[in-house]
Structure 1
């Protein structure tokens, strides 16, 4: 008994010492980010810290993906209707793949019509085109429209949720799991501020047309029976600031007030995410504070857009003599405004590649170099597929080489 008491006493003494030691050896940058300080920029210029009431927040540059501010970035929280960012992403994926069309008519199910919270007052059996349902989700955060779209895309609400979770895994979201397409609280329905920033960035980059909807402050949905439903955007920033054009808000008793707000100035687009704000007023004020902070202190330097040809690679035994190498995604660098130097673009390609070549096959890298240091890198991939040359074409080329024919 005495030995156990002594052991407990020793543990009580050692544990605080271990924690202090861990704090001292933890890199200062990591400690600062957890405290809500901005990370050091690529040129080494630290920016001033921000004080926020909201417990979880992230500020991200859309072009580069750089995190400019982080506080509780990876804490799991209830997202409320911010969930619908992923709902919209999966719906736009379906549009891009041709599985649905904007003109398709969707008949509202009993399940969708019975949903509470914010709705477009869809009635069971009511037809609405996909385009109107997307507007109801993006502008009015309508739960019934979200489930109607989910059922149209995947055949069932839960089938659509499976697609949402699969998309989250594709994006590498480590602290996200969905239980529904609406944002209603559930034990296994959660995300983080960082994950919301990543999915928001992907939505805006891949389907920028969504911003035409999310920037609308007030809209209406007309019903077949003559009724008209008002769709009001809870993101009041889009009403008062013309450079803000999205993206989504949310609230429940468990989640508190949340937002993913995006805007663009002088070619720089930022996304500010806040989860768990204590009030709508704080949510709006701190989202604006983050965006203003980012635009005041940082700028985006774009070096190469996704899909832009940066070189060609010879193809051995290919139906084409060479293939274009393009960035898989934008190559952009976020710099403090005090840094006036422009990064240098460097391209590195393989000397030759054998056919067949598939679209998206890695051919090299493009890097951004500043003061001799690499600050960003993207893969260069094949823009088009190149099949292997046929036997007949090989013979024709051989004769052409001999007789100088083309």
Structure 2
């Protein structure tokens, strides 16, 4: 601890003269190199993809349609991309008003002990949730991630348990988290496909977009300068995030999102050879997606959704609803081939529970199914028994 304390004092002395920039311990290809990679990675509509990565996947952020994949279900370390799940739980806590951006967080000895990318938190140092989010999203700070985890759940262990519960909820079947920041640890694993699932989830939280798109910021009154580890923020048209990561086990990784013409895609790159290559790989996949696919709107005929008749219920009909996207990603030139089929049970038998599945809407493109979405009951309807029957009869007679 004395050695680390000495290092921190040296940094503090330096910052009196020169504010310093915090970088993640990742490859830091310069902007000129990144721009050159972007140009080299342009992909035409007919070109095949060649990705410098152990595993990769390209998906539509709204529906999750897979547009390209390579070893997408192969478990491996994912480094600081782990922090995407950390951010999901912090965003949920904020939305539930369990915490606020202005809340003050006191750094623990445990948070202080983290290695790798960090903002050099001191035990007892106080920062707001807002400041720690900047540290995590911009500088990929491991100590800040742990501080947030402890603040949300009381301990990092309990927070990690929540991370794994959330992963299961999202269908991340090949993922196990062991910590909140992604430092190499035995059994800490995920896959490109699972990373795409949590990347889609984090983008549903609009607040996080204010952080993952920051290029440069500062903490401690300007003493600590933050520069984003995602260099695509400066080089890719339409980039919207998300997170980089690098460790000895994981290699060089990134999950990157971008939007063009209202279509948002997510490219996940795991185990690339160096920083320049990971951004080139993500760029190639995104370019491929934007070159080959387009967003198509589907309009459902509302007259198909008439109330369902209910037998033996205290009311004789039930309204219902369907939660589905209004747009789908299709091959370019096939927007007019988008169609749908509505299948709803003509009659229900009481009791009926709100949320109960009563049918489905299936979406097709040129005959191939794009997705199936449950139609669910919007109300609870009790089954008529002797007591309810007499009560209804009495109400009817008294209102005559």
Q: Give TM-score, length-normalised by structure 1.
A: 0.77
- Structure 1 residues 150 and 313, CA gap change in structure 2 (3 angstroms): farther
Query: Contact 1:311 / 1:326 at 8 angstroms: preserved in 2?
Result: no
Runs of 5+ unmatched residues, structure 1: 1-45
- Distance in structure 2 (CA, Å) of the matches to 1:60 and 1:157: 31
Q: Is it true that 1:104 corresponds to 2:99 in the alignment? A: no
TM alignment of 1:359-374, pairs within 5 A: 359-374=354-369
2:286 to 274, 288, 291: 291
Q: Is it true that 1:348 corresponds to 2:347 in the alignment? A: no
After alignment, is 228-237 or 153-162 more displaced? 228-237
- Residue 6 of structure 1 corresponds to none
- Residue 251 of structure 1 corresponds to 246
2:380 to 371, 378, 386: 386
- Residue 338 of structure 1 corresponds to 333
After alignment, is 314-323 or 273-282 more displaced? 314-323
Query: Contact 1:61 / 1:271 at 8 angstroms: preserved in 2?
Result: yes
- Residue 218 of structure 1 corresponds to 216
Residue by residue over 1:89-148, the C-alpha shift from the partner in whole angstroms, topping out at 9 and shown as x without a partner, is 122222334433333322211111222221223222222222322222122211111111
Q: Is it true that 1:159 corresponds to 2:154 in the alignment? A: no
Residue by residue over 1:279-300, the C-alpha shift from the partner in whole angstroms, topping out at 9 and shown as x without a partner, is 1111111111110110000113
- Structure 1 residues 392 and 264, CA gap change in structure 2 (3 angstroms): farther
- Distance in structure 2 (CA, Å) of the matches to 1:385 and 1:102: 37
- Structure 1 residues 313 and 130, CA gap change in structure 2 (3 angstroms): farther
Residue by residue over 1:58-81, the C-alpha shift from the partner in whole angstroms, topping out at 9 and shown as x without a partner, is 111112211111112112221110
SS in 2 for 1:301: strand
SS in 2 for 1:245: strand
- Structure 1 residues 376 and 215, CA gap change in structure 2 (3 angstroms): same
Query: Contact 2:217 / 2:226 at 8 angstroms: preserved in 1?
Result: yes
- Residue 41 of structure 1 corresponds to none
- Residue 188 of structure 2 corresponds to 189
- Residue 259 of structure 2 corresponds to 264
- Distance in structure 2 (CA, Å) of the matches to 1:236 and 1:78: 22
Deviation at 1:310, TM superposition (A): 5.5
Runs of 5+ unmatched residues, structure 2: 1-44
Query: Contact 1:318 / 1:354 at 8 angstroms: preserved in 2?
Result: no
Higher relative contact order (CA 8 A, sep 6+): 2
- Distance in structure 2 (CA, Å) of the matches to 1:287 and 1:358: 45
Query: Contact 1:80 / 1:251 at 8 angstroms: preserved in 2?
Result: yes
- Distance in structure 1 (CA, Å) of the matches to 2:398 and 2:275: 78
- Distance in structure 2 (CA, Å) of the matches to 1:219 and 1:71: 35
- Residue 3 of structure 2 corresponds to none
CA RMSD in angstroms, aligned pairs only: 2.9
Aligned residues: 351
SS in 1 for 2:369: strand
- Residue 325 of structure 1 corresponds to 321
Query: Contact 2:296 / 2:335 at 8 angstroms: preserved in 1?
Result: no
Query: Contact 1:60 / 1:67 at 8 angstroms: preserved in 2?
Result: yes
